[in-house]
Amino acid sequence: MEGNGNPTAIEAIDLVKDYGSGDTAVHALRGVNVRFEKGRFTAIMGPSGSGKSTLMHTLAGLDSATSGRIVFDGADITRMDDDQLTLLRRHRIGFIFQSFNLLPMFTAEQNIVMPLTLAGEKPDRAWFDMLVDTLGLRSRLDHRPNELSGGQQQRVAIARALISKPSLVFADEPTGNLDSVSSAEVLSFLKSSVRELNQTIIMVTHDAVAASYADRAIVFADGRIVADEDAPTADRMNALLMAERERATRAMGR
């Protein structure tokens, strides 16, 4: 399904990822073709083992493809070496993880600017201020992670992912460790960063409610895209996931 005609941020073309070989090979991605547009929030859903995390790791250059191409801002990242991929991830791609991955001995502010500190760069203060205020972290900047709630820690992690102005952000189950109130808070901020900062976000989630915050949701099963929904609702995504589970159960019973 095509979206709103925005330029493409990243695209997978005939993407294949196999683990192992011969009879024991696992076909994690089976010739996937998908494009993600700039300035949109896309959720990727699917049962465990469907290939959704493999797709994200391969798109981000964290895992190599067996065959096919991944085109990011016009460049084929499947042809890049480790050094080129490291630079790409440092400057162009942001990551938000389920486990926050904050450094416990540093304050929220130090955690947010850490990617720039590591690169020997100074933050753009106007951008920093906008992120901090958009995420409601102004009064928490001198707090360490253990002095913050789960939702606040995840918002610090989001600010850290966005501080280097990446053109693409991957979020891996970003609400997996949060209660429903904190989840709604974090998802609202992701949605507003797409709207207000023109961010491009690709989020892997197993939660249909989380997916309903996205502009588009893709359902993955057995290494393939089985559904692609614009303006997803929680009910629609739950129905698609249930149908997929029933199909998988029937297939196993044959």
Greater confidence (148 vs 192) lies with 148
Q: Grade residue 118 by pLDDT with cuts at 50, 70 and 90.
A: confident
CA 108 vs. chain centroid, Å, equals 22
Distances (CA, A) of 239 to 210, 235, 236: 15, 6, 5
> Looking at the domain that runs over 38-65+74-253, which CATH code has it been given?
3.40.50.300
Q: Grade residue 244 by pLDDT with cuts at 50, 70 and 90.
A: confident
Alpha carbons 42 and 62: distance in angstroms, whole number: 19
Q: Is the pLDDT of residue 245 over 90?
A: no
Q: Grade residue 83 by pLDDT with cuts at 50, 70 and 90.
A: very high
For 23-53, the pLDDT digits (tens) are: 888 899 999 999 999 999 999 998 888 889 8
Arithmetic mean of pLDDT, 205-227: 94
CA 30 vs. chain centroid, Å, equals 20
Arithmetic mean of pLDDT, 169-191: 88
Q: What is the reported pLDDT for 254?
A: 66
Q: Which residue has the tokens 């981000």?
A: 60
Q: What is the reported pLDDT for 2?
A: 45
Q: What percent of the chain has pLDDT over 70?
A: 98
Q: What is the reported pLDDT for 252?
A: 80
Single out the residue of 197, 160, 170 nearest to residue 36, CA to CA.
Answer: 170
Arithmetic mean of pLDDT, 173-196: 87
Q: pTM for the complete prediction?
A: 0.89
Alpha carbons 230 and 212: distance in angstroms, whole number: 10
Single out the residue of 87, 111, 91, 86 nearest to residue 101, CA to CA.
Answer: 111
Q: What is the reported pLDDT for 4?
A: 55
